[in-house]
């Protein structure tokens, strides 16, 4: 709520509690990160994983081999602590399994990793499919732009949203359900960080761009 009030003040809203939507472009990146993204990332970086419904050990960011059971996880610079988990962990939470963990576990089934699912590549990594999904309101509530203008960073975000919608449906709104590290690694393999200017940014702004924060909603 603090972020929404701040944005409302920025736009001059006088209605207390009014939800104000602000579309932010890349030219606003520095202001947006300092005033909004950094606040969101502090909440995201508190270590609480919303899929597993538990805190993540800070040591995980040092080496994925200590927790990866699928063989596909690799540590990625700048990711939040809450993203440092393996898809297979959704299978191991027993009776305390959340709806989100159950959704992920159902996608994995008997596979060694959710990225081995026959639909994962076609839905989450195929550029032509991602171009179509970028117009799907369940995937991207805000249109990311013309296909010819999309960067690797844009595709990383669309791919993340495609995975989230494929796995969790409408429950993925707000970008609070973290993708497993194996999924994020595959997305970055397909759409490398070096292919655009994202290395100039910080945190998830580096990985996903402004779109992640435009749609991010803190859990009140």
Rounded-to-10 torsion of CA 205, 210, 215, 220? 50
pLDDT digit string, tens, across residues 167-185: 999 999 999 999 999 999 9
Q: How confident is the model at residue 23 (pLDDT cuts 50, 70, 90)?
A: low
Please tell me the pTM assigned to this model. 0.80
pLDDT digit string, tens, across residues 91-113: 987 667 899 999 999 999 999 99
Q: Classify residue 76 as left (phi > 0), alpha (psi -120 to 50) or beta.
A: beta
Q: CA-to-CA distance for 85 and 41, rounded, in angstroms?
A: 17
Q: CA-to-CA distance for 100 and 94, rounded, in angstroms?
A: 13
Higher-scoring residue by pLDDT: 27, 3: 27
pLDDT digit string, tens, across residues 114-152: 999 999 999 999 999 999 999 999 999 888 889 999 999
Q: Is 21 helix (H, G, I), strand (E, B) or coil?
A: coil
Question: Closest Cα partner for 92 from 103, 82, 105, 83?
Answer: 105
Domain boundaries, the chain: 27-215
Contact 179, 186 (CB under 8 A): no
Mean pLDDT across the chain: 83
Q: What is the residue whose two structure tokens read 């972020």? A: 3
Q: Taking residues 57-84, what's their average pLDDT?
A: 93
Query: For residue 153, with 0-12 CB atoms within 10 Å meaning exposed, 13-18 middle and 19 or more buried, which class applies?
Result: buried
Residue 34 sits at φ, ψ, to 5 deg, of -65, -35
Secondary structure of 125-140 in HEC code, one letter for each residue = CCHHHHHHHCCCCCCC
Q: Is the pLDDT of residue 160 over 90?
A: yes
Q: CA-to-CA distance for 44 and 82, rounded, in angstroms?
A: 7
β-bridge mates for residue 48, sequence order: 55
Residue-level pLDDT at 27 = 57
């Amino acid at each position: 709520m603090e972020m929404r009030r701040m944005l409302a003040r920025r736009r001059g809203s006088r209605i207390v509690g009014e939800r104000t939507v602000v579309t932010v472009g890349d030219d606003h990146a520095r202001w947006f990160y300092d005033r909004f993204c950094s606040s969101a990332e502090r909440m995201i970086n508190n270590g609480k994983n919303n899929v597993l419904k538990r805190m993540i050990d800070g040591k995980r960011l040092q080496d994925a081999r200590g927790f990866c059971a699928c063989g596909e996880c690799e540590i990625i610079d700048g990711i939040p602590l809450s993203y440092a988990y393996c898809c297979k962990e959704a299978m191991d939470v027993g009776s305390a399994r959340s709806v989100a963990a159950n959704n992920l576990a159902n996608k994995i089934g008997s596979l060694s990793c959710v990225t081995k699912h026959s639909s994962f590549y076609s839905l989450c990594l195929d550029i032509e499919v991602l171009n179509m999904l970028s117009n799907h309101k369940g995937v991207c509530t805000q249109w990311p732009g013309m296909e010819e203008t999309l960067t690797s960073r844009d595709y990383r975000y669309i791919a993340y949203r495609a995975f989230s919608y494929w796995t969790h449906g409408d429950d993925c709104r707000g970008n609070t359900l973290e993708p497993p590290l194996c999924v994020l690694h595959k997305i970055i393999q397909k759409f490398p960080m070096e292919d655009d200017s994202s290395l100039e940014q910080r945190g998830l702004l580096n990985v996903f761009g402004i779109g992640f924060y435009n749609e991010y909603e803190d859990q009140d």
